[in-house]
């Protein structure tokens, strides 16, 4: 199980980690945003001698999920190769979910696997992408189509980085936190819906975040390769990924967390219709999402393509579209199938409600 460290000083924690392990070459993967906004924080003068003792190399990729692709991956491989990286080298992935996903996959595959540390710099990466060992890239317009399970040597979480984010990026991560609460317990769910996310108290958010991540940790520890219980973490994602893929096709890309929030609306509707999920809790969740996340415009004409995209979901068996649904908060029902008509009803509900 990977080590997850919560800290108020990522630079100091990174120094301690690097001093405790051996490696021949050190690489920091970032995008143009995290190079400018986050790299200086871990290069503060008092820690430079330790961090720079291997003359680290920076590998920079373009920002944005549209760049989580084979071309960016190839660029990272080439940079590692040209700099003489070996199986004893170490990569620090400094960035959001796009950087940690792609960097983790590059590390998992280069020389058949080298070690990496995740320093997530967005709320979404802290609560989801950097934790749990899923790595990968998008391929042929499909989210996370190619990837591998490979855990980071360490994940260092410092909410200082959240100061660099706008409200859209905070909300993107918050959607995954709501998902974790829905699959966990009513108290956590109520706390998130009542938290002032528009003007977040980072100290309070850090405490909530730590408990929230533990939900995912417990599930991943029991099912590291998604053969069973880990599918619970896919609540909202079957339809959410379809929204996200459609948006990419139509050149109107949306944040992953927003797509998950909209997917949660649809999948809570299916949960209510098929499993009796309480309508009052569904309505409260839907109202929160509607108020904070706006809407992704779809029409009935988009339904066939959305259904087609859902058939590519990795949880599916055969031709069935597979969902993680809830009978109540914390009452998880895995491997739930829905007919095309039922899914279209859920999409209707989304359009009418949002």
Together in a domain, 152 and 173: no
pLDDT for 57: 93
Structural domains counted in the chain: 2
User: DSSP readout, 269-288?
Assistant: HHHHHHH---HHHHHHHHHH
For residue 130, give its domain range.
Answer: 3-164
What's residue 51's pLDDT? 55
Residue where one domain finishes, among candidates 164, 190, 205:
164
> Cα–Cα–Cα angle for 135, 240, 122, nearest 5°?
50
Say yes or no: 185 and 121 in one domain.
Answer: no
Q: Exposed (0-12), middle (13-18) or buried (19+): which is 335, by Cβ within 10 Å?
A: middle
Among 146, 164, 182, identify where a domain stops. Answer: 164
The distance from CA 201 to its chain's CA centroid, rounded to whole angstroms, is 22
The two structure tokens encoding residue 22: 């051996």
Tokens for 48, please give them.
């430079």
> Are both 25 and 143 inside the same structural domain?
yes
Look at the alpha carbons of 45, 51, 54, 57 in this order and tell me if their dihedral is positive or negative: negative
Of 116, 146, 164, at which residue does a domain stop?
A: 164
**Quick one: 141 and 182 in the same domain?**
no
- Rounded to whole angstroms, how far apart are CA atoms 315 and 237? 10
* Residue 319 confidence (pLDDT): 67
Whichever domain contains 303, its CATH number is: 1.20.1090.10
Question: Is 152 found in the same domain as 202?
Answer: no
Beta bridge partners of 135: 148
Looking at residue 15, its pLDDT comes to 87
* Helix, strand, coil shares, percent, the chain, to 5: 55, 15, 25
Tell whether 185 and 310 lie within a shared domain. Answer: yes
Residue 129 belongs to a domain with what CATH number? 3.40.50.1970
Integer Cα distance of 170 and 205 in angstroms: 11
The Cα 265–Cα 243 span in angstroms is 12
Q: How far apart are the first and last CA of the chain?
A: 39
Q: What is the mean pLDDT of each run of 10 residues along the chain (354 residues)?
A: 86 90 95 94 66 75 95 98 97 96 98 97 91 92 91 94 92 97 97 94 90 92 88 96 94 93 98 98 98 95 96 73 96 96 98 92
Q: Which helix (DSSP H) or strand (DSSP E) does residue 240 occupy?
A: helix 237-249
Examine the domain organization and report whether 126 and 187 are in the same domain: no
SS3 assignment, position 43: coil
What is the C-alpha separation between 83 and 330, in angstroms, rounded? 48
């Amino acid at each position: 199980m990977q080590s997850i460290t919560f800290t108020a000083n990522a630079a100091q924690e990174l120094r301690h980690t690097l001093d405790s392990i051996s490696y021949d070459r050190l690489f920091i993967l970032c995008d143009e945003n995290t190079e400018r906004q986050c790299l200086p924080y871990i290069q503060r003068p008092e820690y430079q001698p330790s961090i720079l003792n291997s003359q680290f190399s920076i590998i920079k990729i373009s920002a944005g999920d549209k760049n989580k692709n084979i071309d960016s991956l190839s660029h990272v491989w080439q940079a590692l190769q040209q700099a003489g990286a070996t199986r004893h080298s170490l990569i620090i992935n400094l960035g959001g979910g796009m950087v940690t996903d792609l960097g983790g996959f590059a590390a998992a595959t280069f020389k058949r696997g080298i070690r990496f540390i995740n320093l997530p710099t967005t709320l979404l990466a802290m609560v989801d992408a950097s934790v749990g060992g899923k790595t990968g890239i998008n391929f042929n317009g499909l989210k996370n189509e190619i990837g591998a399970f490979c855990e980071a040597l360490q994940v260092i979480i410092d909410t200082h980085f959240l100061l660099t984010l706008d409200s859209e990026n905070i909300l993107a991560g918050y959607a995954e936190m709501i998902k974790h609460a829905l699959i966990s317990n009513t108290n956590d769910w109520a706390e998130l819906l009542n938290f002032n996310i528009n003007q977040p108290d980072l100290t309070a958010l850090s405490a909530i975040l730590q408990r929230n991540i533990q939900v995912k940790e417990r599930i991943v520890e029991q099912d590291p390769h998604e053969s069973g219980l880990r599918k619970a973490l896919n609540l909202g994602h079957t339809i959410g990924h379809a929204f996200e893929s459609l948006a990419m096709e139509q050149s109107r890309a949306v944040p992953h967390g927003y797509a998950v929030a909209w997917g949660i609306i649809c999948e809570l509707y299916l949960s209510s219709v098929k499993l009796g999920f309480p309508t009052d809790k569904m309505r409260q969740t839907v109202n929160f999402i509607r108020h904070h996340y706006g809407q992704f415009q779809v029409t009935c004409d988009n339904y066939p393509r959305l259904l087609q995209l859902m058939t590519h979901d990795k949880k599916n068996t055969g031709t069935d579209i597979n969902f993680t649904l809830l009978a109540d908060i914390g009452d998880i029902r895995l491997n739930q199938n829905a007919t095309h008509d039922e899914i279209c009803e859920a999409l209707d509900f989304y359009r009418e409600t949002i």
